[in-house]
Amino acid sequence: MKKQSLYFLVFVSSILLIFSGCMKKQNFPDTPVIGYLGFEMVFDTGLYAKTGILTISYQDGNGDIGLSTGDTFSPYQPGGPYYYNYVITYFEKQNGTFNQVNLTFPLSSRIPVLTPNDPNKPISGFIVDTLPLPIAPVHDTIRFEAFIYDRALHKSNVISTPDIILRRR
């Protein structure tokens, strides 16, 4: 190896070592934390929104968010409380009070494994989910609540959207 190449390699290695020491390691709790980022309605030609797009942020200290398609045995069995790891609840404002309404279609879903190669590292990011909305709701003011479970069954905090008015203005 030429002497110049060796000096260059040592120089680049030194720079990388210096910068890697300066980088902050993310330190999040092992229980997931989520945050509300936004909700956007999608209208077709009708009076009411057809779908909505919910965006949340997440952080997890040990990176164990997500389920694989094979995770269907206890405690993740279909119909069980942990089958869905992204739980979304729908509310309608009725006579000035928000009441939970069970829709004929599920809003909750299964987040896929987010760190398949290194499950024990801190992760953060955001999730964008498209939600079907009632076609002709009786009440046009709604909101959603959401939380997630990690694979250790730690439940995140619960976020709530602001009031959402489905009708076009």
Q: 147 vs 169, which has greater pLDDT?
A: 147
Q: What is the DSSP string of 11-28?
A: HHHHHHHHHHHHSPPP--
Mind listing the domains of the chain with CATH numbers? 26-165 (2.60.40)
The DSSP H or E segment spanning 8 is helix 3-22
Q: Answer yes or no: are the C-beta atoms of 131 and 46 closer than 8 Å.
A: no
Give tens-digit pLDDT for 56-90: 999 999 999 999 999 999 999 999 999 999 999 99
Nearest to 134 by CA among 55, 53, 38, 52: 52
pTM of the model: 0.81
